[in-house]
């Protein structure tokens, strides 16, 4: 990354003319990722993506999906019911 040195005539902020090369910026990004511990997480994501890329694709056939999908049950606790009733929401 470009920074100003003491006694240097360069400004401390980057202007578009002062940006590093793409290779330098990529190296800065990789180093920042290593310092933040992102490389292990990214590697796991890449491994998962690679397995998905070579795995069996999901079916697009209509018969392979259930016709009826049950709705999940929503449970309302007694405390939530009391709060709803106090606010006149009536969760029956």
- DSSP character string of 4-72: PPTT-SS-SS--GGG---HHHHHHHHHHHHHHHTHHHHHHHHHHHHHHHHHSPPPP--GGGS-S--PPP
Q: What residues make up the domain containing 53? A: 21-57
pLDDT band per the 50, 70, 90 thresholds, residue 9:
low
pLDDT band per the 50, 70, 90 thresholds, residue 31:
confident
Instruction: Flag whether pLDDT at 45 surpasses 80.
Output: yes
Whether 16 maps to a domain, the answer reads no
Whether 41 maps to a domain, the answer reads yes
Whether 29 maps to a domain, the answer reads yes
Average pLDDT, the chain: 78
Number of domain units in the chain: 1
């Amino acid at each position: 990354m470009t920074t100003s040195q003491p006694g240097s005539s360069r400004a401390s902020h980057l202007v578009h003319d002062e940006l590093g090369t793409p290779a330098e910026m990529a190296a800065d990004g990789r180093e920042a990722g290593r310092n933040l511990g992102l490389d292990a997480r990214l590697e796991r994501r890449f491994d998962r993506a690679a397995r998905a890329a070579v795995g069996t694709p999901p079916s697009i056939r209509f018969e392979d999906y259930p016709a009826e999908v049950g709705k999940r049950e929503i449970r309302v606790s007694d405390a939530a019911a009391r709060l709803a009733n106090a606010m006149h929401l009536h969760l029956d």
